[in-house]
Structure 1
Amino acid sequence: MKAPVRTSSTGPAGRMLAIASGKGGVGKTALASALAGAFSLKGEQTLLIDGDLGMANIDVQLGLQPDADLAAVLAGEVLLEDAVQRVMGGAIRAGGFDVISGRSGSGALADLKTEAVGRLAAGISALSLYYDRAILDLAAGADHSTLRLAMSADDVIIVINDEPTSLTDAYAFVKTLRRRDDSAAPLVVVNNAPSKEAALSAYGAFRKTCESFLGFTPQLAGTIAHDMAIPDAIRAQMPLPQRHPNCEAFRDVEKLAGHLAQGREAA
């Protein structure tokens, strides 16, 4: 599928958002796909890219069977735009969003040379100009490929939860990213929060660590409630806004999308 002609004008063309986490298991990919649905509902032409070059799984979560993926692109078999696949759903009233899948379990992609990752980042940036919004779902951690892709984005979200390991690993990601680019200012999303109080406590602890050791105050972009609708949508291999459009977690995601679209931190 070729990239679309951009027809909407809800924001600057090619605005790219990278979704990162210090560790796996914090719901980063589910958040990325739900955000793609939320931006689509706002009328934005949206592209979701599986940038986990080691253990891609967006295709599995969304029940896709792509004809081409990033592995084929990096092997020179197809062009990046030929790996675009449409995700449809009755609840995604703006017509769904586009996806570029990785290749599930293809750990070899994690060993890409710096030059190859740079070419991929440049290609994604160029393709994003056909869209209002591109969302890049990164691998967990802070390896060189993940950091290079993060640095190609306009904004970076670091996803945390209230587990101590999530906070320490997220801090390590931010520290490493800011060593490479001292102007980097990742936003924070607290995911799978058992309560608003727990979410604010986790953010407060993370903010305090960053302020104490990095001299940097990360802004809170949003909090996403713990909601069993999310694992249900994953098991059903459906986008959250299609499976559970009115669930609490997706309402939180829509609020997050609104803040991001307006360039504001969470209220």
Structure 2
Amino acid sequence: MHDQAEALRLKMMKSQRPVARAIAIVSGKGGVGKSNFTANFSYALVAKGKKVLIVDMDIGMGNIHILFGATPTYHLKDYLTDQQQLQNVVTPIEENLAFIAGGSGLESVVEWSDMMFERLIEAFSVLQMEYDVILFDMGAGATKSSIDLILAMDEIVLIATPEPTSITDAYSMIKFICLQDASKTIKIVSNRVLKEQDGRDSVARLQLAMRKFLSVDPSVLGFLPDDIHVRNAVIAQVPFVKLYPNAKVSKRMLAIADTFIHGNKPCTSIETSGFLDKIKGVFLKGRV
């Protein structure tokens, strides 16, 4: 398996197609709209011409499929345990958009078998060449396993609301990350904003604390208003960007996608992305 995966990676590296950006979507606590952001962000990226894959890493609590009104037949674990082929665990939503449901039993990645590790590397060697952006919807909060995986990503998008508890938890989350890697690219989205200035003030406080105490300088992707269209879309199990394209929150999400796309230069090779090499490092921890 190792030789096959290595041969596949070398083959992929010779391709001229840019490698997908691997993005961790994180939050300091649950209930801030992280998964809903991920679902709608993916639609906005597709609207901007990108091909997007979502990987639901909120193990045991994943709900991406519910937001899309979809029922996955198989999960990531089915592929990793060699029960299904890769194409069978990728659930298409529409053209240029798909997701992989996490399922259960994947809590501790360092306990995965060598076969599961090899299959994961092989899967992402393929997926990075098929998609422009891979969004990893991480579980809320910080655990050792989740932080290790987040550190392997190219970028981090942090979702927070203006409430003081959300800002405090968001700071704590980033602190855990920065203690291990202060060079990570971090972008902030303020969600469920009642008043624009309140959202800006809360994000400014978070940025100031991160610069002062963590020596990191996060950028701001944008602000999403508290909007009844969001709740209605969740009930309808259709992302609000698709169901209510003219709503203010949808236009803001499209603006966030535009900033995300044009504010950063995409990776052009597996070497510059580094995602696969970092994933390897996660699995090698505790194995030697």
For 1:1-267, what aligned pairs fall within 5 Å after superposition?
12-88=18-94, 95=95, 97-103=97-103, 106=104, 108-113=105-110, 122=121, 125-126=124-125, 127-263=127-263
Change over 3 Å in CA distance of 1:169–1:197 after alignment to 2: same
CA distance in 1, matches of 2:56, 2:128: 14
Deviation, structure 1 residue 123: 5.1
Q: Is the 8 A contact 1:58 1:102 kept in 2?
A: no
Q: Return the TM-score normalized by structure 1.
A: 0.84
CA distance in 1, matches of 2:239, 2:47: 13
CA distance in 2, matches of 1:120, 1:194: 45
SS in structure 2 opposite 1:159?
A: strand
Deviation, structure 1 residue 121: 6.4
Change over 3 Å in CA distance of 1:169–1:43 after alignment to 2: same
CA distance in 1, matches of 2:143, 2:163: 22
Q: Is the 8 A contact 1:207 1:218 kept in 2?
A: yes
Q: Deviations 1:86-141 (Å, cap 9, x if unpaired)?
A: 113xxxxxx351111223xx4x4324436569668645642122111111111111
CA distance in 2, matches of 1:259, 1:120: 34
Deviation, structure 1 residue 221: 1.4
Deviation, structure 1 residue 12: 3.5
SS in structure 2 opposite 1:77?
A: coil
Structure exhibiting the larger radius of gyration computed from Cα positions: 2
Q: Deviations 1:150-194 (Å, cap 9, x if unpaired)?
A: 222211111111111211111111111112212113111101111
* Higher fraction of helix: 2
Q: CA-atom RMSD, angstroms?
A: 2.1
CA distance in 2, matches of 1:233, 1:54: 23
CA distance in 1, matches of 2:111, 2:247: 41
CA distance in 1, matches of 2:118, 2:227: 38
Give the letter aligned to residue 42 of structure 2.
A
Give the letter aligned to residue 27 of structure 2.
S
Change over 3 Å in CA distance of 1:248–1:24 after alignment to 2: same
Q: Is the 8 A contact 2:182 2:215 kept in 1?
A: no
Q: Which runs of 5+ in 2 are unaligned?
A: 1-16, 265-288
Give the letter aligned to residue 76 of structure 2.
L
CA distance in 1, matches of 2:191, 2:156: 15
CA distance in 2, matches of 1:124, 1:148: 19
Q: Is the 8 A contact 2:54 2:136 kept in 1?
A: yes
Give the letter aligned to residue 168 of structure 1.
T
SS in structure 1 opposite 2:142?
A: coil
Q: Which moved more, 1:228-237 or 1:209-218?
A: 209-218
